[in-house]
Each structure stands twice: as C-alpha cells, then as structure tokens.
Structure 1
Amino acid sequence: MTHGAGRRRPDVETVELVGGVERRAILLVDHDPAWAAGYAAHASRIRRALAGTALRVEHIGSTAVPGLAAKPIVDVLVTVEDITAEEDHVEPLVRAGYELRVREPGHRLVRTPERDVNVHVLEDDDPSADDYLLLRDRLRADAADRQLYEDTKRALAQRDWADVNAYSDAKGDVIEAIKDRARRAGSDA
C-alpha cells in the first residue's frame, strides 16, 4: 500500500488536542529497567484490543533505550493499514482503557489515564514509523549520539515550556542530525 492509498475516508486536516493544551513539568529520570516490562504489558494489551489490526507494535522513544534518561512515559508505536479507520484501532484502544489525546493528519495518539504510556498510531508505510525505529536503534547502538541526546534533553528540561509538544519540537534539530548519521551508517554497511 502506498501511503494514504485505500483509505476508507479522507484523513483529518487539522490537529486536535483532546482536552486542549496541557502544561506539564518536564521531568527526566535515569533509565528504569522496569520500562521494558511496562512496555511488554501494554504491547500485550494493545495486541489483544486490536485483534490483528496492528501490523507492528514497537517500544520507541527514550524509555526504549537502556542507559538513556527519559521522561517516565513509555512510548509505543502501533502501525495499521488505514489511519482513518479509527473504528478499527482508536475505538478498540479506548475500550481497552486508553484515552484519545491527539488526532492529526496521519497520526493518532492515545494514552493511559495516568499519562505514563503514549500509544502513537501511524499507517504502516508512513516514513515517520520507520524514523521512530531508526532513532531508537541508533541511540541503542551509538554511545556518543545517546549522550548528545541526553545532554540536549537535560538542557531543554531546564527551560519553561508552554506544553510538552514545544519541548519535543525543540529537540528536532538534534533528532534529525542523529537520524542522518544513522542513515549514513546504514548506507555504509
């Protein structure tokens, strides 16, 4: 399937933050090995809820990288065939106890009521899905990039942010540089 082909309906065209902008402190903590077990429990819960609709379920983000400080929020990537078919993925996840937080073009995000797990839903052929995995794998494998990323996050966490999205956006240049190095390293292999 090419990105967006075969959708049941047109995708949303705007960003909807269910519940509006949230101001939250950015708290980084040292890596906790329990994050992997938390991911595994949620991956199982997600697979049961989606009953074959999920094409991939992956632990992404900083909590997926041993040795990397992170916000204590486990990020999960779920890929599906059709992002617009929310009845196939968002509705079952809501029934499984997650809450819809973001609806935007090509991306849905549900999270736990405790706000300690974010589930990112993308179409399987969305390049963003592969980018999440590229970044995760590079940070797992490269100590220098892992340290650069942690130093960047710690410096940014000291600033006052209107919301978590602004903090995430501020990391963009460093993330792109790390992904570029990962792509170059992959093409050299």
Structure 2
Amino acid sequence: MEKGIKAFQCVEWVSKRKVPHTIDIVDPDPSWPTTFTQLATGIRAALPATVIHAVHHVGSTCVPGLAAKPVIDIDLIVADPADEASYVSALEAAGYHFLFREPPWYEHRLFALYAPPVFVNLHVYGPGELDLESARHRLLCDWLRKCPADRDLYARVKRESSERAKANGEGVGEYTEYKGATIREILARAAADAAAAGQGREETVEAGRAETAEAGTGIE
C-alpha cells in the first residue's frame, strides 16, 4: 500500500449499493458459518482454480457467540486483483455486484450480494504483500474466538456504535468510525499475543499494532 494514503481517499466507485448497508446489530446466528460455506462453494464454482488462492470467512459472523450485523464478510484472495478480467464478469454472473476498487489499498475490490435476510460483502485481495489486510482481518477474528473478554467488549461497543449512528441519522461509515478505537485496542492485543507465540508473519503482526483491521473496508 502506498504510504500515507488512507483507504477512503482512493476509492474508485463502479456503482452504488442497490440495497442500503444495514448497521443493525443482531444476536449471533449459528447458521452463519454454514451460509459462508455455501457461498464459498459458489465462488469456487464460478472462478477457475488458477485464479483463486483462498476464500476466507472474516468479520464478526465468523466468530461464534459474537453479535454482528447480518452481513457475511468474505475475503477472496486471487492471483492478481488488478486483472479484473479474470474474475469480475464471473462474479457478476454469479450475482455479485461490483461496488468499487481501491488500488493503493492492497489492490482491494469490493462486491456485494443481496440475499435477505443475510447480505454479503466480498472483498478481493491478492497474495503476498497484498494479503496483509486480509491477514489482519483473520488475526482479529482468531483473537476474538480466543479471548471472551475482548469478544464481549467488541459486542458492547458495536451495539453502542450502532445506536449512536442511528440516533444521529448516520450510516455505516460513522458506525465504523465510532468503534475504530476499540478495534485498534483489540487488534494490538491480538498482535502482541501472536508475536509472543511466534505465530504469523512479522509484517502482519507489526502492521496490526498500528492499523485497524477494518480500515476502509466496512468489515463487520
């Protein structure tokens, strides 16, 4: 990622959401992992195996017992995110709506799938250094599964942030901003734990100390 560039400054919109992004927080649903598995199967069927490096369930819906927006967040790691011809049309044929690209932010692309009562955010990244943002997503989720205290803290702050944003007539951007400081605190603890255990890529752990795992992406 280019130093000093914030994600929100480099968004290239392709189209707007067809359905507004909810900021309602609901109780955990045990069906969310199964829903992800079905979605991942569909993604793998839509794209050539040579394009897909990995499909990860990220965000709060992948953490058992954690309240969340009813949005399944998926990180799709492809061979080359800049080669949109290799995956965009296939994802669109599978029902995914291309929303925007952020080339300086780890070549991030965002797609949406509208499948009430659950919606999907599909984040596309690349391998190697382009996988660092997704790696932070996974680091955060792994820690929330491991640490009940931070899981409860995050659930409380999310509910408070949601209510504050709704009371002010605001949307997902403000909701994400309100909970950002808490995410940074939790991610710092997750990074410290991973470093102490000698787990994970060094650059991911170091970046985790300084950056929120959800910056610019709207990850739930």
Q: If the length of structure 1 is used for normalisation, what is the TM-score?
A: 0.86
Distance in 2 (alpha carbons) for counterparts of 1:21 and 1:94? 14
The answer (yes or no) to whether the contact 1:23–1:162 under 8 Å persists in 2 is: no
Distance in 2 (alpha carbons) for counterparts of 1:164 and 1:157? 9
The answer (yes or no) to whether the contact 2:23–2:171 under 8 Å persists in 1 is: no
The answer (yes or no) to whether the contact 1:31–1:66 under 8 Å persists in 2 is: yes
Which stretch shows the higher mean deviation, 56-65 or 75-84? Answer: 75-84
Q: Secondary structure at the match of 1:113?
A: strand
Check 1:174–1:17 CA distance in 2 against 1; reply closer, same or farther (3 A cut).
farther
What residue number does 1:114 align with? 115
What residue number does 1:103 align with? 101
Check 1:156–1:139 CA distance in 2 against 1; reply closer, same or farther (3 A cut).
same
Kindly provide the CA deviation profile for residues 101-127 of structure 1, in whole angstroms up to 9, marking residues without a partner as x. Answer: 222222111111336111111112221
What residue number does 1:167 align with? 175
Check 1:84–1:156 CA distance in 2 against 1; reply closer, same or farther (3 A cut).
same
Q: Secondary structure at the match of 2:42?
A: helix
Cα deviation for residue 166 of structure 1 reads 2.7
Report the number of matched residues: 179
Kindly provide the CA deviation profile for residues 121-148 of structure 1, in whole angstroms up to 9, marking residues without a partner as x. Answer: 1112221010010011011111011111
Q: Secondary structure at the match of 1:75?
A: strand
The yes-or-no answer on 1:74 pairing with 2:77 is no
- Residue from 116, 136, 146 that aligns with 2:141: 136
Paired AA for residue 36 in structure 1: P
Distance in 2 (alpha carbons) for counterparts of 1:173 and 1:21? 30
User: Unmatched 5+ residue regions in structure 1?
Assistant: 5-12
Q: If the length of structure 2 is used for normalisation, what is the TM-score?
A: 0.75
What residue number does 1:8 align with? none
- Residue from 155, 161, 177 that aligns with 1:156: 161
The answer (yes or no) to whether the contact 2:11–2:100 under 8 Å persists in 1 is: no
The yes-or-no answer on 1:124 pairing with 2:124 is no
Distance in 1 (alpha carbons) for counterparts of 2:189 and 2:18? 33
Distance in 2 (alpha carbons) for counterparts of 1:21 and 1:98? 11
Q: Secondary structure at the match of 1:84?
A: coil
Cα deviation for residue 151 of structure 1 reads 0.8
Aligned ranges for residues 1-40 of structure 1 at < 5 Å? 13-16=10-13, 18-19=15-16, 24-40=21-37
What residue number does 1:48 align with? 45
Q: Secondary structure at the match of 2:110?
A: strand
The answer (yes or no) to whether the contact 1:90–1:110 under 8 Å persists in 2 is: no
What residue number does 1:187 align with? 195
Distance in 2 (alpha carbons) for counterparts of 1:167 and 1:15? 22
Paired AA for residue 151 in structure 2: R
Distance in 2 (alpha carbons) for counterparts of 1:15 and 1:169? 20
Which stretch shows the higher mean deviation, 96-105 or 145-154? Answer: 96-105
The answer (yes or no) to whether the contact 1:21–1:163 under 8 Å persists in 2 is: no
Check 1:44–1:150 CA distance in 2 against 1; reply closer, same or farther (3 A cut).
same
The root-mean-square deviation of aligned C-alpha atoms, in Å, is 2.1
Kindly provide the CA deviation profile for residues 149-175 of structure 1, in whole angstroms up to 9, marking residues without a partner as x. Answer: 111101001023533133223322211
